[in-house]
A = this chain, B = another copy of it.
Amino acid sequence: MTQHGNTQPASAAFGRLTPLKIIATGAALPPTKVTSAELDIRLGKPPGFVEKRSGIDFRFHGSDSASQVELAVAALRDALNRQAIAPESIDLLIYASAIPVQALPFSAAHVLKASPLKKGISSFDINTSCVSFISALQVAAGLLSTGAYRRIAIVSAELASRGIDWEHEESSIILGDGAACAIVEQGDGQSGILSCLLETYPAGIDLCQIRAGGTRRNPRAGLHHSDFLFQMDGKRLFRQAAALIEGYWQRLLSSAGCSLADLATVIPHQASHVSLEHMRRRLNVPTDVLIDIYRQHGNQVSASIPTALHYAITHDRFKPGKPVALVGTAAGLTLGGMVLMP
């Protein structure tokens, strides 16, 4: 991304950048806070077990009738309201999430319908599972550079609780629901993407999945109750990601023309406390550089990265001239990351 095409000179210290300005962010959570103490009781564990095992104080779960669309719209409204952005100024809505609302039509149309945005604008879904938001930022920068759109809203929303397998201890206690939004423009060329790197290694495709939802498992092709539930082989997933992450990180930083020491903030996917700590150590990221909201959110699938970005922005950790990295591993297996100049 740093070598060719419609890029602008960045700060002399770094590589060239693709213009992109985040002009607003927002987030939303369902109303029900689920503490780890409550899960101890639900799962018949001794007090403190779930908190220790999951590394979470509380996460938020929607009810069985909660709407993923309403959660998405709440995050979008939050972003619009915080910066007093006129809804009719948005000309593209991208829904960037791992799980859709339904098989047909695409989820962005559902979100557009329930949103204050102008009907008749462009909208589509992008999906790279847990790093969908990173893909959407890269796609948005491209579309802004060709002048196809002027102001783009990106929304990631997940009701992970809807797919929890309560028989599977490891995954059931880490997942949380939530949504987040970013509104972007091309900007003046001072802000943008220094590098973006998405790498998919599909040998690990079955290690993290929900088999129902499309043509693979349904009443005609064959279907089992477990096909609707989130399945994860945490150990093998962890091993595969761990073998790749260091080389990946070096490629991401090197294509940004920067070093770890240049990064003011690192915003990781909030996968689990073990994976966060492992990644932090392997990549030598100082604790005070990392954004870690996992203990109060859990793993919110695709909503984790934009929720953590929103946290960084609202806590003064995303400042002009100081590069910020987004990074995560995702079902696929995909490694996704981006170095942004705020």
User: Residues on A close to B: CB < 8 A?
Assistant: 1-7, 18, 64-65, 67-68, 98-110, 112-113, 119-129, 132, 135, 138-139, 141-148, 150, 159, 162-163, 186, 196-203, 205, 208-222, 225, 228, 230, 330-334
Contacts and interface: CB of A to CB of B under 8 A. Distances in A.
6 tightest A-B CB contacts, nearest first: A142-B142, A103-B213, A4-B147, A5-B147, A113-B202, A105-B331
Nearest to A64: B220
A214 B99 contact: yes
A122 B201 CA distance: 9
A18 B146 contact: yes
B148 A230 contact: no
A99 B109 contact: no
Contacts of A221: 64-65, 162
A127 B196 CA distance: 22
B101 A198 contact: no
8 contacts: A5-B186, A98-B106, A101-B214, A102-B212, A109-B331, A119-B203, A163-B218, A212-B218
B102 A7 contact: no
Contact of A124 (B67, B143, B145, B198): B198
A199 to B, nearest CB: 5
B219 A147 contact: no
Contacts of A141: 142, 146
Contacts of A112: 200, 202
A57 B97 CA distance: 40
A105 B218 contact: no
Nearest to A115: B202
Contacts of A197: 122
B145 A104 contact: no
A104 B98 contact: yes
Contacts of A148: 1, 5, 18, 138, 142, 196
Given A1-B147, A159-B215, A213-B214, A104 B135 contact: no
Given A120-B201, A127-B125, A145-B145, A102 B3 contact: no
A91 B104 CA distance: 28
A129 B105 contact: yes
Given A99-B215, A216-B102, A217-B102, A144 B5 contact: yes
Contacts of A159: 215
A198 B147 contact: no
A141 B105 CA distance: 24
Given A208-B105, A213-B214, A147 B100 contact: no
Given A64-B221, A104-B208, A108-B128, 18 more contacts: A5-B145, A6-B146, A7-B147, A18-B146, A68-B214, A100-B100, A100-B215, A103-B214, A105-B331, A108-B200, A109-B202, A119-B203, A121-B200, A123-B200, A138-B143, A141-B142, A162-B221, A213-B213
